[in-house]
Structure 1
Amino acid sequence: MSDRQYHSSWNKDNSPFASLIGTNHIPSSAELNMLKALLVQPQLELCQLEAEIDRVQNLLTGLLSEKQKLTDYIEAHRALISPIRQIPTETLAEIFVWCLPTEPLYAVRNLNAAELHKTSGAAAAPLVFTIISRDWRRVAVSTPRLWNSLHIYLPPHLSRDDFSRRIAGITSWLQRSGSLPISFSIHEARVDYYATNFPVTCSLGIGSSTGHVHPQLDITVRGENMQSMLRALMPFSSRFGDLSLSLSTLSFSFFHQLSPSSFPTLESLHLYDLGTSRGLSQSSESHDKFATLLSSMPVLRKLDLKQFYARDQKYLSLPCNWGTMTRLAIGDGLIPSKALAILAEMPRLQSLSLQITVNEEMSNSVVHLSELREMQLQVQQLGGRHQPISIPVLASLIDCIQSPSLRSLSLTSLSPLTVSEWPFSGVSLHALEILELDGTFLPMVLTECMSQTPNLITFMLTSRFTSFTLQDSHLSCLTSSPCNLSPLWPRLQNIRILTNKHQVMGRQHHSELVSMTSFTNAALITFLESRSQATYPLKYCDVLYSAQSQTSFSEAELYTLRNLKQNGLKLRIYCHPVPANPNIPYHDSPEGGMPRPENITHINVESDMESRYGHGAVVIL
């Protein structure tokens, strides 16, 4: 019987009982006999088909098994001739080194790339290379450049056993670095934070006092753990080239006690005081210990004291070779005269970050910093952050800093009050390539800034408090059109716009601070379309709207934005949620407390778009 005949003969529509199939008809005795006779042949053929299917299935199973054996045989031998096996060990090691992440600043002990800044698998290097194969592990372990950088986060709950395992891992890691200079960061979590968020009543071990603390925050255990950690690190101290310490007052005292007489190769030092405000370095004893520590660093070139203070702001009394310093960061709220006195001793300075407290004293002592390429200023007025900043005094300070090589500038106003004048109007910013503004500036301030910085490549603008600085008129000045054949910032390639950051971070000071963005979707999209076709096309654009913003995009606008992304623009638009609960749960993250980069040239880092509550709804990513 052919397939066609078979198909036709067993069609239910051709059955003599077709009209009864699917009904509630009760067959008669005669019909029952007819049905039984009718089913004899199809049941016989069904058995034959099942037998044939079993035979074919067994045949197919055998063939698939043979196929798998052949595939395994071929792949096993192909692996032996894989090109990567022909790569010399030295070349493979170099490839591993190039896979190391450039951000964060230090390597971390992490194999979970998804948790580490949600970036690519390269973020887990170098540990990931030790779990691929025996040969790769051998190459990785024997390549010192993979292991001469490490960041360690120390949460306060760690037991002695946990600490011992962490110390063993750190020691093994650094031993693999051979004789190379070491970049090392250690961040100790704040105790007071955990005492606040994890209330457990227990004895503090001092008399009969009790308090609300983490159940494993015994000060004796923590002190012993930290001393054990520092003792394990000190054998490597002669190779420290970059050191970042974010420690409590007690732990700093341990570090001082256990330190060698000299750190002969240390060129970069970052200190962060986790103790009470100004408590660590304000006392005479602590100041002397700090001075002694600095005197043991003969080749120090970079000093970051953003959260570490010299007594009475007498920084020049510290035993540093100021004349050879290339980077300085001080977060002590220096008045202009003291800032200029320090800068006058640092002719080779290349990177500067200062927090300035503006008083009423005009500056007139000019300092020449011919090599300065990056400057970051955080400014507030004497008397508190809610005092208006005296722009003439700030401008006089800026005018006194002669920096013809300046390429990167960051200005942050710590006051919620509006900055009404551009303080850099008296200096040349023609060569500036990177600009970051953070605060509340009048639109006219941004207009003057734009006209003064013709060669800008990267621009970042953050609105901290009230109305947003960026207007449609600014975007129009940056947009090429028949009415604007020579737009400003023709070399612009990276732009980041963060709106109402201070509200997003949950620190509103006044009820009237809620505001909406002052530029429209149409102006933004027209700007993006124009710049995508420019001589220097836009590469990155990040926009972060506040929780209070009512911004929404139409389907047509979203279609245009997606087309821009498909054509190569790295575009991200987010909207922050209103924070529901500001308490952050404890998380022992390998990158916890990681220092931020010294420069502001990076822009495409997703973590920068996030607040402590996450970055919320994604408009387009």
Structure 2
Amino acid sequence: MSASHSPQEREKLLQSIVQSLQSKYSPNGCSESATPGRFCESCAQLEAVDEDLFAHLKEVNKLLRKRTETKERVNQHHDRVTRRLPVEVVSYIFSIYTDDLNSAFDPRNPIVKPGPLLLGAVSRSWRRAAFSTPKLWNTISIQILSNDNLTTKVELTKEWLDRSRQLPLNLSLFYQTSDMVESEHDALAPLFSMLQSLSPRWSMLVLRIPPMLFPTFIGEVTCAPILQTLKLIDDSSGEGYFSLNTPLLRHLDMQLSIPISEIFIEWSTLTSVETDWVTTRDFLDVLRFSETLESFRVSSLVKDQSHSPPTTISLTHSALRELHLETYGQGMLPRSELVAMLNLVTFPSLEKFRYHSGGANSFPNSAAIPFHALSLSTYPF
């Protein structure tokens, strides 16, 4: 082999040799032969050459394996990261890389770049460093498609999370179907069971699944002792409830249509709530149940359709610093009910207030009284 050949040319030549060895020439006779079932002179010569090639196949395969091992040593020798840096520094660099990827996570777009797997695909030394760094594996986004092999999904998910050791977990589960049937509950059971076994380590939980699956997902789990962030997202109008003891929960994000009364969690520990389709009664209940709440964002404040009498008990919420209200869209809250609701509450610590109605209505001046104590940093519109 000439030294003038480039590495790419040598690589192609080796591949062609392997391919030729894998396709042995074995015709059943030759049409040009005078004797049926026998070879003509040219075919016989080709067969003889093939026999010589296959006689050396074992040695060629041995050399190819040796070449692979040597190439790995060359890659490691040329790798300035793992060869020159301590493994602890390499792990730290890898952690920064995956943290950067995970920081862009959007629960409404469940496609997440598999950062740790990309690192492990570079070389054996990178894979060894990546697989031994638990912090790379404590965040996972599980996307379930209708044609997925759920058995394989469970195995791969378990392998991923096993590498996280005992670190707190950030889990995102995306599953959506237009026609839920009982068999799908059964098919999802192994995956849900595996995730339930890790509930003591849940730190962030993002569920974009039909609300009717919430009880199946929770199963026999009664408490998530270190859960701090909970996001419940669903684009359908299905019914369901969520019940879980969450003693350390700080952040709740609900982008779904089920009422707040169907969410059984520890409200008293919350510092931020972001939610959709909130009635005036729900709005006041959140404030009553969440005394430590500092930020409250409502993307659609709607009219209460229940026939029960409206709440008339006023309250003062001392911790709230930021309040965002939006009242546009279907079932938009009438101005009179907005005024009545806001006249029931006082926020002595409020610093920011934003109101948006999609251009349909301006903020009613008669509702501005509760905000007289706002600081100079407040912007009301």
Give deviations 1:177-230, integer Å, cap 9, x for gaps: 1111111111211325xxxxxxxxxxxxxxxxxxxxxxxx8x354222211211
**Partner of residue 238, structure 1:** 200
Q: CA deviation at 1:251?
A: 2.4
Q: Write the distance in 2 (CA, Å) between the matches of 1:77 and 1:154.
A: 37
2:223 is aligned with 1:266: no
Which position in structure 1 is the counterpart of 2:331?
Answer: 384
Q: Which amino acid aligns with 1:334?
A: T
Deviations 1:246-276 (A, max 9, x none): 22254223224x3324322222222235664
* Secondary structure of residue in 1 paired with 2:254: strand
Is residue 399–residue 424 contact of structure 1 (8 Å, CA) maintained in 2? no
Change (3 A) 1:227 1:250: farther
- When residues 264 and 367 of structure 1 are mapped into structure 2, their CA distance, relative to the original with a 3 A threshold, is same
SS in 1 for 2:225: coil
Cα pair distance change 1:261/1:341, threshold 3 Å: closer
Residues 510-569 of structure 1 deviation map (CA, whole Å, 9 limit, x = unaligned): xxxxxxxxxxxxxxxxxxxxxxxxxxxxxxxxxxxxxxxxxxxxxxxxxxxxxxxxxxxx
Q: Superposed, which structure 2 residues align to 1:464-503 within 5 Å?
A: none
Q: CA deviation at 1:305?
A: 3.1
Equivalents in 1 of 2:6, 2:174: separation in Å? 56
Structure 1's 88 and 254: CA in aligned 2 closer, same or farther, altered over 3 A?
Answer: same
Please list the CA deviations of residues 483-509 of structure 1 after superposition, one character each: whole Å capped at 9, or x if unmatched: xxxxxxxxxxxxxxxxxxxxxxxxxxx
Q: Tell me if the contact between 1:378 and 1:411 (Cα under 8 Å) persists in the aligned partners.
A: yes
Alignment counterpart, residue 175 of structure 1, candidates 162, 165, 188: 162
Q: Which residue of 1 aligns with 2:178?
A: 191
Is residue 198 of structure 2 the alignment partner of residue 229 of structure 1?
Answer: no
Give the number of the structure with larger relative contact order, counting CA–CA contacts within 8 Å between residues 6 or more apart. 1
Return closer, same or farther for 1:272/1:83 CA change in 2, 3 Å cut-off.
closer
1:411-422 to structure 2, matched below 5 A, reads 411-413=355-357, 417-419=360-362
Q: Residues of 1 paired with 2:76 and 2:135: CA distance?
A: 32
| CA pair 262-333 structure 1, distance change in 2 beyond 3 A | closer
Within the alignment, does 1:92 sit opposite 2:90 as a pair? yes
1:139 equivalent among 121, 124, 129? 129
Q: 1:157 to 1:334 in 2, by over 3 A?
A: same
2:377 to 431, 441, 448: 431
Contact 2:321 2:351 in 1 (8 A): yes
Q: What is the deviation of 1:95?
A: 1.0
* Partner residue in 1 for 2:307: none
Residue 166 of structure 1 aligns to a residue whose secondary structure is helix
Matched residues in 2 for 1:157 and 1:81: separation? 40
- Spell out, residue by residue over 1:344-388, the C-alpha distance to the aligned partner (whole angstroms, 9 max, x if none): 3423213322242368x8988353343x4544322249x934x76
Aligned pairs for 1:531-546 within 5 A? none
Aligned-residue offset at 1:242: 1.4
What does residue 258 of structure 2 align with? 309
User: What percent of counterpart residues are identical?
Assistant: 22
- Structure 1's 191 and 403: CA in aligned 2 closer, same or farther, altered over 3 A? same
Aligned CA distance change for structure 1 residues 363 and 169 (closer, same or farther; 3 Å): same
Q: Letter of the 1:131 partner, please give it.
A: A
Which residue does the alignment assign to 1:340?
A: 284
Deviations along 1:315-338, whole A, 9 cap, x unmatched? 7xx764433222223434221x55
Please report how far the alpha carbon of residue 171 of structure 1 lies from its aligned counterpart in structure 2 after TM superposition: 0.9
SS of 1:328's partner is strand
Tell me the secondary structure at the aligned position of residue 135 of structure 1. Answer: helix
State the AA in 1 paired with 2:331: G
Matches within 5 A, 1:274-293: 276-277=237-238, 279-281=239-241, 290=242, 293=243
Q: Which of 343, 347, 351 is equivalent to 1:401?
A: 347
Q: Which one of the candidate residues 133, 151, 155 is aligned to 2:141?
A: 151
- The 3 A distance-change label for structure 1 pair 233 and 398 is same
Question: Is 1:367 matched up with 2:316?
Answer: yes
Per the normalisation by structure 2, the TM-score is 0.65
The answer as to whether partners of 1:353 and 1:375 remain within 8 angstroms in 2 is yes
Q: 1:152 to 1:79 in 2, by over 3 A?
A: same
Sort the Cα spacing of 1:431 and 1:94 in 2 relative to 1 into closer, same or farther, 3 A: farther
Q: Distance in 1 between matches of 2:140 and 2:232?
A: 16
2:150 is aligned with 1:163: yes
Change (3 A) 1:166 1:300: same
Amino acid in the other structure paired with 1:378 = E
Unpaired runs of 5+ in structure 2? 11-70, 305-309
The CA deviation at 1:300 is 2.7
Q: What is the Cα deviation at residue 76 of structure 1?
A: 5.2
Would the alpha carbon gap of residues 380 and 394 (structure 1) be closer, same or farther in structure 2, given more than 3 Å must change? farther
Root-mean-square deviation (CA, aligned residues, Å) is 4.2
| Partner residue, 1:349 | 293
CA, structure 1 residues 308+392, in 2 after alignment: closer, same or farther (shift >3 Å)?
Answer: closer
SS of the residue 2:276 aligns to:
strand
- Aligned ranges for residues 445-464 of structure 1 at < 5 Å? 449=381
Structure 1 residue matching 2:325: 3-state secondary structure: strand
The worse-fitting range, judged by mean Cα deviation, of 343-352 and 145-154 is 343-352
Is the Cα contact below 8 Å between 1:141 and 1:176 reproduced in 2?
yes
Is the 2:328–2:360 Cα contact (8 Å) retained in structure 1? Answer: no
* Moved beyond 6 Å, runs of 4+: 61-66, 361-364, 422-425
Q: Provide closer, same or farther for how the CA distance between residues 345 and 77 of structure 1 changes in structure 2, counting only shifts above 3 A.
A: closer
SS in 2 for 1:251: helix
